[in-house]
Amino acid sequence: MSRLLLLEDDQSLIYGLSFSFKKQGFNADIARTISEALDLWAKNEYELLILDVSLPDGSGFEFCRKVRENSDVPIIFLTASDEETSVIMGLDIGGDDYITKPFKLSILISRINALLRRTEKYKYTSQEVESNGIKIHLLEGIAYKNGHALDLTGGEYKLLCFLMENTNIVLSKDQILEKLWDVNGNYIDNNSVTVYIRRLRVKIEDNPSQPKMIQTIRGLGYKWNVYC
């Protein structure tokens, strides 16, 4: 049974989500403030976090930053705003997914299951992938550049794996969306892929403004280019 942490202060939403989580077989702890969430986080282990952005004592972004100091647990943001700046901020600080209120519970459940499946898949893989000075230990879930561990979020790590496992193959945004979230693009903005690509380039490219590893193929998508 997967254990989740829900950080949300809307009682009516808490009630609906709690019922759905229990029906799906999830064990969910509820926090209504960042303070409560920090206390639960310190005492328990979770497979996935669901964080509201607007809270009585701050923002879910603050809690995400704290978690990312020592964990790559999957994180889904719940936000009342679909503005690009808000979405980009959530992804940039380490969020793996976001969903805009109001939303259908079935969609949120699908997104949770997708992230959990994705995490389990990489947890038990025992291969290594290497090129361009980048080496991924898939069993450990760690990527290295020239022998130094890269500080990647869960989403960035999985995007890097997907690109490197498909060397010199052009991958469309839709293919990347389906691979990373296990759902079709109807629920997730294609801009999310652009954000992840930009974030990953900053962390692995010698010159992110002139990328050599992750190449943009105009009108088609992206590909991992092997040059050494």
Alpha carbons 200 and 205: distance in angstroms, whole number: 8
Domain match, 67 and 50 both? yes
The pTM of the full predicted model, rounded to 2 decimals, is 0.64
Max mean pLDDT range (4-8, 100-104, 166-170): 4-8
201: pLDDT confidence band, cut at 50, 70 and 90? Answer: very high
Residues in the chain: 228
Tell me: do 135 and 94 sit in the same domain: no
pLDDT in tens, 40-63: 999 999 999 999 998 999 999 999
Task: Measure CA 141 to chain center.
Answer: 14
Residues 104 and 154 in one domain: no
Domain co-membership, 145 together with 82: no
Q: Do 17 and 116 fall into the same domain?
A: yes
Verify that 109 and 153 share a domain, yes or no.
no
Residues 117, 146, single domain; the answer is no
Whether residue 58 is found in the same domain as residue 117: yes
CB-based contacts of 96, cutoff 8 Å, min separation 6: 74, 75, 76, 115, 153, 154, 155
130/117 same-domain check: no
Residue 101 shares a structural domain with residue 51: yes
Number of domains the chain is built from: 2
C-alpha triplet 75, 76, 79: angle, nearest 5°: 135
Domain boundary among 105, 121, 137: 121
Mean pLDDT of all residues in the chain?
86
**Does one domain contain both 113 and 22?**
yes
The 10s digit of each residue's pLDDT in 147-190 is: 999 999 888 888 999 999 888 889 998 888 877 765 444 445 56
Lowest mean pLDDT among 30-39, 147-156, 211-220: 147-156
Of 121, 139, 162, the last residue of a domain is 121
Domain region containing 7: 3-121
Same domain, 150 and 200: yes
Q: How far apart are CA 59 and CA 93, in angstroms?
A: 13
CATH number at residue 180: 1.10.10.10
Cβ atoms < 10 Å from Cβ of 156: 23
CATH no. for residue 100?
A: 3.40.50.2300
Please say which residue of 121, 153, 187 terminates a domain.
121
